[in-house]
Amino acid sequence: MAVIPIGPIHPILKEPLRIKLHVEGERVVDAEIEMGYVHRGIEKIMEGKHYLKGVHLAERVCGICSYIHTQTFVECIEHISKIDVPDKAKYLRVITCELERIHSHLIASAVYNFAIEHETIGMWLLNVREMIMDLLEMITGNRVNMGFNVVGGVRVDIDREMMDKIYRTLDKFEDDIKNIIEAFETGPMIGLRSKGIGVIGYGEIMKTRAVGPVARASGLPESDWRLRHPTYQELKFKPVWREEGDNFARMMVRHEEVLASIELVRKALELYEECSGGVRKKVHVKGGEGEWRNEAPRGEVLYKIAITNDGIIKRIMIRTPTVMNLEAYKYMLKTCPTISDAVATYASIDPCVSCTERAIIVKDVNNGKERTIKF
């Protein structure tokens, strides 16, 4: 048996991570995953700071799905302080959240297509993604770190001209993305590299507690936290899911979620038009503890916050989706016939290392010794 190291710097890895593949010839039999190259300590930095600075820092947990982190942070504070948000703000949050989901899924699919060496579809996906990035910039003023969410609502409103542009862009985008999805779904080379590769079943998904599109591609629709969000319940949201559990299913779940997000944005715009009033209100934050979950593009993201009556963050814990999906990756390797399939399977879980890495300092109360655990 030989060990093939991949990373921590490798063309297929978006962020630093080391994977040690245990192989017999070309067949992958096991893997070790080493983290610890990009831990930033954002939770510790937040402690002792005012919650307004916490919003700013939460947006920097992830460089791709930055918006959902601010939304989860402010909704957790609103939950602790029992703050109701104006209806307009609720629908604007859905619109921005779903646009972010679309652009994140398009990056994930592009990276996967590059991994299986189908550069044409990869470039098409990155090209159409620009339409969505332009909409996010128009609504929030920025493309990545949007600074849109505040406790009590959102920072700015949209007007009629912007709404018309969102409708027109989505119509054009929907036609383009459907053509790309059809090319992916029917492509013979894509099928050979994706179907029956990296399979993980329902039972193994339950063992690993995988989340997001990884779980939904193995028959777990209830893993989508939008089902439990009050605004999405108004929109009668239905999750997308499959049962095959292979690389192809994971990518198709993301593709179908892109189409579902387009419909959610249209529904949210219709409800937004029926609303009146402002998009934010003056709030009074109360001290206490609470937790809130949302469905990020990669799956469940959890914030637990303890805050004082003065709005100072006493303690915060953030759990992002990739840490559970990395555990599921080890099971997927059992059906990877070659090393290149193992690399493509890693891309199929859409990992984000920067927002996943954590370090815990464990102190022995008997002898006072400390040790650091990284994961």
What number is the average pLDDT over the span 306-327? Answer: 92
CA distances from residue 328 to 172, 179, 272, 346 in whole angstroms, order as listed: 36, 31, 39, 10
Count CA within 13 A, CB hemisphere, residue 198: 29
CA distances from residue 12 to 178, 273, 337, 348, 359 in whole angstroms, order as listed: 26, 43, 18, 11, 25
Q: Which token pair is 280?
A: 């934010």
Q: What is the pLDDT of residue 148?
A: 95
C-alpha 335/C-alpha 313 separation (Å) is 45
For tokens 């193992």, what's the residue? 342
Count CA within 13 A, CB hemisphere, residue 6: 21
Q: What is the pLDDT of residue 146?
A: 92
Q: Is 97 annotated as a binding residue?
A: no
Sorting pLDDT into bands at 50, 70 and 90, what band is 95? very high
- What is the pTM (predicted TM-score) of this model? 0.93
- Which contacts (CB < 8 Å, 24+ apart) does range 177-180 have? 177/128, 177/255, 177/258, 177/259, 178/259, 180/121, 180/124, 180/125, 180/128
For tokens 């997000």, what's the residue? 261
C-alpha 165/C-alpha 292 separation (Å) is 33
267 sits in the region (left: phi over 0; alpha: psi -120 to 50; else beta) called alpha
Other CB atoms within a 10 A radius of the CB of residue 120 amount to 11
Sorting pLDDT into bands at 50, 70 and 90, what band is 358? confident
340 contacts 5 by C-beta, under 8 angstroms? no
pLDDT digits (tens, 9 = 90+) for 213-267: 999 999 999 999 999 999 999 999 999 999 999 999 999 999 999 999 999 999 9
Q: What is the pLDDT of residue 373?
A: 63
Least confident of 66-75, 119-128, 207-216, 357-366: 357-366
Q: How big is the CA angle at 300 (ends 52 and 246), to the nearest 5 degrees? A: 145
C-alpha 85/C-alpha 82 separation (Å) is 10
Q: Is 275 annotated as a binding residue?
A: no
Q: Is 65 annotated as a binding residue?
A: yes
For tokens 């593009």, what's the residue? 297
Q: Which of these, 238, 260, 237, 240, lies nearest to 250 by C-alpha position?
A: 240
C-alpha 32/C-alpha 1 separation (Å) is 14
What number is the average pLDDT over the span 162-176? Answer: 97
Share of the chain above pLDDT 70, in %: 98
pLDDT digits (tens, 9 = 90+) for 24-72: 888 888 888 888 888 888 998 999 999 999 999 999 998 888 999 999 9
Q: What is the pLDDT of residue 288?
A: 95
The CATH number corresponding to 40-347 among 3.40.1010.10, 3.40.47.10, 1.10.645.10, 3.40.50.12780 equals: 1.10.645.10
What number is the average pLDDT over the span 117-145? Answer: 95
Q: Is 43 annotated as a binding residue?
A: yes
Kindly list the domain boundaries of the chain, sorted by start residue: 40-347
C-alpha 318/C-alpha 148 separation (Å) is 20
What number is the average pLDDT over the span 176-198? Answer: 96
pLDDT digits (tens, 9 = 90+) for 100-118: 999 999 999 999 999 999 9
Q: What is the pLDDT of residue 375?
A: 57
Least confident of 4-18, 84-98, 249-263, 338-352: 4-18
Contacts of 203 (CB under 8 A, 6+ apart): none
| Position 130 pLDDT exceeds 80 | yes
CA distances from residue 5 to 296, 343, 356 in whole angstroms, order as listed: 30, 11, 21
C-alpha 168/C-alpha 161 separation (Å) is 11
